[in-house]
Amino acid sequence: MLMKTFEARSNHESSGPTGWQWWAGILLVFTIGCGPGEDTFPEAETPEEARQELLLSNGLSLNGLSLNGLSLNGLSLNGLSLNGLSTTTFHNWFQVNAALRAEVMRYLVECAVPAGSTRTYTAPSTGTTYVWTGVLGLAPSWSSGLAATTAELQVVSACLAAHANKYGLHVTVSLRGLDGANNVIATTSQELTSHTLREACFFGNLFDGSTGVFGGNDGLSLAAQQSSPRLCGLPGASSSSQCSPMVYVGSCSQYCTLDSSQSYYTSCVYNGITYRPVSTRMKPSDIATCGNGVCEQTEKSGLPAYCSADCGS
């Protein structure tokens, strides 16, 4: 089984994406299949390969989703040319901050494209070639060269939101739900045993230029001395979002419908729109407890849950 571990990013980069260019670059990738030489499609996966380990590090910096706080209202994609990764539009978006945007593309491809398939881009100005490898395959139509369906755009948006981490900390999450073709996201016996803590639900659409993404709590409740390395499924002050511009909606059960096994959400309805969500599970051991003698990652100096009892002064 494949266990995927990603490098976490810090969210303290000073330079970030500009509004319409970020959306333009991401939307053009999803609206059509890439041109010749930009995709590599694998042989048909065996059932064993398809049941890959879906333990994903959620170290994606919020800068990758937040547009540095730019309002999602009023974004216009009028006149966008949708000709693949080789277009001037994509290049102009990418070169503004190649390091950050390569990270965004990395997570996008990992969410959308199946294991064994890649997307490749060579920057004309530098000659640097980037290869992004698929993992989850949540967008099978787009991965096969067709236009992405609405369900695929939604579930990949949810996947990106699920991987956002305000502090760029290393922690694995198990994604549960349906892919863009209504198939159940595969899980392994190890994953079901290790990641038992219901955490959050995520849904929305990052590719329509206006909706954004939403996060909700799926039952995670922390005691006064506890802290989580993931905040997007927990309310902030006055029940507001801690992961702006992601909107915190409260309890997942208020908006989302469980499948018959009560294991994952099949849909979420918010403001009259139905979305394809993903829900997340954590390892109980990733919840830190101040005073247990272990300096855990959320308790270190500089973070709100700093614990001097465990980490020293």
Mean pLDDT of 284-297: 93
Amino acid at 140: P
Phi, psi of 308 (to 5 degrees): -70, -30
Q: Which of 169, 175, 151, 164 is nearest to 241 (CA)?
A: 164
What proportion of the chain, given as a percentage, has pLDDT over 70?
73
Q: Is residue 159 pLDDT above 60, yes or no?
A: yes
- Closest listed residue to residue 69, CA positions, set 243, 270, 250: 243
Lowest mean pLDDT among 17-26, 129-138, 223-232, 276-285: 17-26
Q: State the number of CA atoms in the 13 A half-sphere of 58 facing the CB.
A: 28
- Token pair, residue 307, equals 């614990």
Asked if 201 contacts 215 with a C-beta cutoff of 8 angstroms, the reply is: yes
> Using CA of residue 296, residue 298, residue 303, residue 305, what is the dihedral sign?
negative
Average pLDDT in the chain: 75
Tell me: pLDDT of 149 over 80. Answer: yes
Residue 154, C-beta contacts closer than 8 angstroms, at least 6 positions apart: 180, 203, 204, 205, 275, 276, 277
Rg (CA), the chain: 19
How does residue 12 score in pLDDT terms, banded at 50, 70 and 90? very low
Give phi and psi for 280, each to the nearest 5: -125, 150
Predicted confidence at residue 60, as pLDDT, reads 66
Tokens at residue 138, please?
């949540």
d(CA 213, CA 206): 7
Q: Name the pTM for this structure.
A: 0.78
Q: Given this model, what pLDDT does residue 27 score?
A: 41
Residue 145, both tokens? 């060269």
Lowest mean pLDDT among 74-78, 223-227, 245-249, 307-311: 74-78
Q: What is the mean pLDDT of residues 296-306?
A: 88
Residue length, the chain? Answer: 313
Which residues, in sequence order, are CB contacts of 27 under 8 Å at separation 6+? 77, 80, 82, 207, 209
Tell how strand 172-177 and strand 278-282 pair up. antiparallel
Confidence of residue 54 (pLDDT cuts 50, 70, 90): low
Phi, psi of 38, rounded to the nearest 5 degrees: -100, -10
* Average confidence (pLDDT) over 48-74: 43
Whether the bond into 245 is cis, omega within 30 of 0: yes
| SS3 of residue 107 by DSSP | helix
What's the per-residue H, E or C state across 41-69?
A: CCCCCCHHHHCCCCEEECCEECHHHHHHH
Q: Which residue has the higher pLDDT, 63 or 10?
A: 63
The pLDDT confidence band at residue 89, using thresholds 50, 70 and 90, is confident
Which pLDDT score is estimated for 115?
86
Q: pLDDT tens, 171-200?
A: 888 999 999 999 999 888 888 899 999 999
Q: CA 123, CA 234: separation in Å to the nearest integer?
A: 39
Quickly state the pLDDT bin for 84 (edges 50, 70, 90).
Answer: low
pLDDT for the residue 239: 75
pLDDT grade for 258, boundaries at 50, 70 and 90: very high
pLDDT at residue 61 tops 50? yes
Question: Is the pLDDT at 303 greater than 70, yes or no?
Answer: yes
Tokens 């073709």 map to which residue?
A: 181
- pLDDT (mean) for 199-214: 86
Say which DSSP state 14 is in.
Answer: S
The more confidently predicted of residues 240 and 51 is 240
Mean pLDDT value across residues 77-101: 61
For residue 313, is pLDDT > 90? no
Per-domain residue ranges of the chain: 19-282, 285-313
